[in-house]
């Protein structure tokens, strides 16, 4: 056995496969410099190279690939928002996810098993009705469901919780999950094949600005220049933008999540309750992923707190009382870049060659493909695609916000 393994391991016919090449030296200049090697930065690089033939691209990542929010999220992918602008945008992302494993040759474990959001009050039911109508109008699969249908969708769910029994739900068959780190690695591997350079452990520490343009990007591994420069740094958006002397309507909050020990499969759809600030899904391994609302005050520390765990577990047990004996396996937090309207900031900045991919808060994983594809289009052509128009930074100057707070908080 051991001999066979060794023979196989050293055989030239089975060379070791590296997903991405080791970090090269920084070149003096690139056509596009992307700051941040999370899913968004890597997807932008991939689409620049694939769709627009722009291959002199580098991605600068201060830590390791996808070590930020890309590998910390709870992997919910959905398009059941409330404004038509958002539904159209996130719907395009859901559609891109559909063919992405095959396109990237990387198994993203994309699994579209539907998302059920629960209402515990008349007020929530009314907003669900609106989301269902808007969603149907935009061509997504979404409908209101009553208690009987909820019981059929999720047999173990406790509908009779005291004080706030479940009154109805919003059923979104398009909702699902994907393996988050695989999304980043899939994009990275294919982008690298097309010539994109990925520089891990390379922190951007300064930006030179002259005459309304970024003229140099300073890193802890030396200086480089980019014809166009993109920032996609999630929780650090304000700090990196400040290097270019740009102020953003963003505040950074920790978002915590946790995972239980593996259980026999019992939960097919994703279940989410905005009223209880909790959502639960079961992974292919059987673990339950539990997430909820943000921390109560801005912070850059990825510590976990007992306060949040207690409330999250309490609410999860209201939904599934039989989980009381189950143990937690892991807990973690990521720093999320929250905007006032719970919508992202995408597109041009006040500088001529500087682009923003920021304000993804607690909801940006699902948007990785569409943000990368459409921002690449904007950077390559210099023209903002119509689908990104609503998410311009200027909306805060004209007070033209895209309010998704109700459709985002605690349902991710």
Identify whether the C-beta of residue 86 lies closer than 8 Å to the C-beta of residue 134.
no
Can residue 299 be called a binding residue for ligand FAD (CB under 6 A)?
no
Among ligand FAD, another protein, none, what binds residue 297 when CB lies within 5 to 8 Å by partner kind?
another protein
Taking the complex as a whole, the smallest distance from the CB of residue 46 to ligand FAD amounts, in Å, to 13
- Dist CA 394 CA 348 (whole Å): 9
The beta-strand segments (E) located in 244-313 are 251-260, 270-273, 278-282, 288-294
**Considering only CA atoms, which of 45, 41, 70, 30 is closest in space to residue 192?**
45
Q: Which of 20, 76, 267, 393 binds ligand FAD (CB under 6 A)?
A: 76
**Considering only CA atoms, which of 185, 175, 170 is closest in space to residue 134?**
170
Taking the complex as a whole, the smallest distance from the CB of residue 209 to ligand FAD amounts, in Å, to 16
Can residue 307 be called a binding residue for another protein (CB under 8 A)?
yes
- Dist CA 221 CA 76 (whole Å): 36
Cα–Cα distance list, 64 to 21, 40, 221 (Å): 13, 14, 15
Q: Which of 21, 24, 222, 298 binds another protein (CB under 8 A)?
A: 298
Q: How many CB atoms lie within 10 A of CB 153?
A: 16
Can residue 391 be called a binding residue for ligand FAD (CB under 6 A)?
no
By beta-carbon proximity to another protein, the closer residue of 67 and 84 is 67
- Dist CA 399 CA 193 (whole Å): 43
By beta-carbon proximity to another protein, the closer residue of 130 and 239 is 239
Q: What distance lies between CA 276 and its chain's CA centroid? A: 22
Can residue 412 be called a binding residue for ligand FAD (CB under 6 A)?
yes
Residue number of the CB atom closest to ligand FAD? 38
185 to 214: interface string for ligand FAD, x by CB under 6 A: ------------------xx----------
Taking the complex as a whole, the smallest distance from the CB of residue 248 to another protein amounts, in Å, to 6
The beta-strand segments (E) located in 5-122 are 29-35, 57-60, 76-77, 115-119
- Dist CA 261 CA 283 (whole Å): 11
By beta-carbon proximity to ligand FAD, the closer residue of 108 and 255 is 255
Q: Which of the ranges 81-89, 157-165, 228-236, 317-325 carries the binding residues for ligand FAD, by CB under 6 A?
A: 228-236
Identify whether the C-beta of residue 295 lies closer than 8 Å to the C-beta of residue 305.
yes
Q: Which of 2, 301, 324, 386 binds another protein (CB under 8 A)?
A: 301
Which tokens go with 35? 């700051």
Dihedrals φ, ψ of 148, to 5°? -65, -45
- Dist CA 60 CA 396 (whole Å): 29
Among another protein, ligand FAD, none, what binds residue 61 when CB lies within 5 to 8 Å by partner kind?
ligand FAD
Q: Which of 32, 57, 58, 68 binds ligand FAD (CB under 6 A)?
A: 68
Q: Which of 33, 233, 346, 402 binds ligand FAD (CB under 6 A)?
A: 233
By beta-carbon proximity to another protein, the closer residue of 240 and 378 is 240
Q: Which of 306, 324, 325, 383 binds another protein (CB under 8 A)?
A: 306
Which tokens go with 329? 């396996």
Which tokens go with 171? 């059923």
| H, E, C per residue of 38-58 | CHHHHHHHHHHHHHHCCCCEE
Q: Which of 228, 336, 353, 408 binds ligand FAD (CB under 6 A)?
A: 336
**Considering only CA atoms, which of 270, 266, 267 is closest in space to residue 116?**
270
Can residue 360 be called a binding residue for ligand FAD (CB under 6 A)?
yes
**Considering only CA atoms, which of 290, 332, 272 is closest in space to residue 70?**
332
Residues 6+ apart with CB under 8 A from 115: 76, 78, 80, 171, 172, 175, 176, 269, 270, 271, 272, 411
Taking the complex as a whole, the smallest distance from the CB of residue 267 to ligand FAD amounts, in Å, to 16
247 to 286: interface string for another protein, x by CB under 8 A: xxxxxx----------------------------------
Among another protein, ligand FAD, none, what binds residue 364 when CB lies within 5 to 8 Å by partner kind?
ligand FAD
334 to 373: interface string for another protein, x by CB under 8 A: ------x---------------------------------
Can residue 245 be called a binding residue for another protein (CB under 8 A)?
no
Footprint of ligand FAD (CB under 6 A):
35-41, 60-63, 66-70, 72-76, 203-204, 232-234, 236, 240, 255, 257, 291, 334, 336, 360, 362-366, 412
Footprint of another protein (CB under 8 A):
238-239, 247-252, 296-301, 303, 305-307, 340, 396-397, 399
């Amino acid at each position: 056995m051991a001999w066979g393994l060794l023979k196989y391991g050293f055989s030239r016919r089975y060379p070791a496969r590296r997903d991405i090449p080791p970090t090269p030296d920084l070149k003096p200049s690139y056509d596009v410099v992307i700051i941040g090697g999370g899913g968004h930065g890597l997807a932008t690089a991939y689409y620049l190279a694939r769709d627009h033939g722009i291959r002199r691209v580098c991605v600068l990542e201060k830590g390791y690939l996808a070590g930020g929010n890309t590998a910390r999220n709870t992997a919910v992918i959905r398009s059941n928002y409330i404004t038509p602008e958002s539904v159209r945008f996130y719907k395009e992302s859901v559609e891109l996810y559909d063919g992405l494993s095959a396109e990237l040759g990387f198994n993203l474990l994309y699994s579209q098993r539907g998302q059920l959001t629960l209402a515990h009050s008349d007020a929530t039911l009314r907003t669900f009705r609106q989301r269902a109508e808007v969603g149907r109008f935009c061509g997504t699969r979404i409908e209101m469901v009553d208690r009987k249908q909820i019981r059929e969708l999720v047999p173990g769910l406790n509908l009779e919780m005291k004080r706030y029994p479940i009154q109805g739900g919003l059923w979104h068959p398009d909702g699902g999950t994907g393996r988050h780190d695989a999304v980043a690695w899939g994009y990275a591997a294919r982008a690298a094949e097309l010539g994109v350079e990925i520089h891990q452990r390379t922190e951007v520490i300064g930006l030179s600005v002259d005459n309304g343009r970024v003229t140099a990007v300073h890193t802890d591994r030396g200086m480089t220049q980019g014809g166009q420069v993109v920032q996609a740094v999630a929780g650090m958006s304000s700090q990196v933008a400040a290097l270019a002397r740009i102020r953003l309507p963003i505040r950074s909050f920790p978002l915590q999540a946790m995972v239980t020990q593996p259980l026999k499969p019992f939960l097919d759809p994703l279940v989410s309750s905005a009223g209880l600030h909790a959502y639960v899904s079961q992974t292919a391994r059987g673990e339950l992923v539990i997430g909820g609302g943000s921390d109560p005050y801005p912070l850059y520390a990825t510590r976990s707190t007992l306060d949040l765990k207690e409330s999250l577990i309490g609410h999860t047990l209201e939904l599934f009382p039989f989980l009381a004996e189950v143990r937690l396996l892991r807990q973690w937090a990521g720093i999320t870049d929250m905007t006032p309207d719970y919508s992202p900031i995408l597109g041009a900045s006040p500088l001529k060659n500087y682009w923003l991919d920021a304000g993804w808060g607690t909801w940006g994983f699902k948007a990785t493909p569409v943000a990368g594809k459409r921002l690449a289009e904007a950077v390559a052509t210099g023209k903002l695609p119509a689908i990104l128009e609503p998410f311009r930074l200027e909306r805060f100057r004209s007070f033209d916000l895209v309010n998704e707070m109700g459709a985002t908080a605690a349902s991710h």
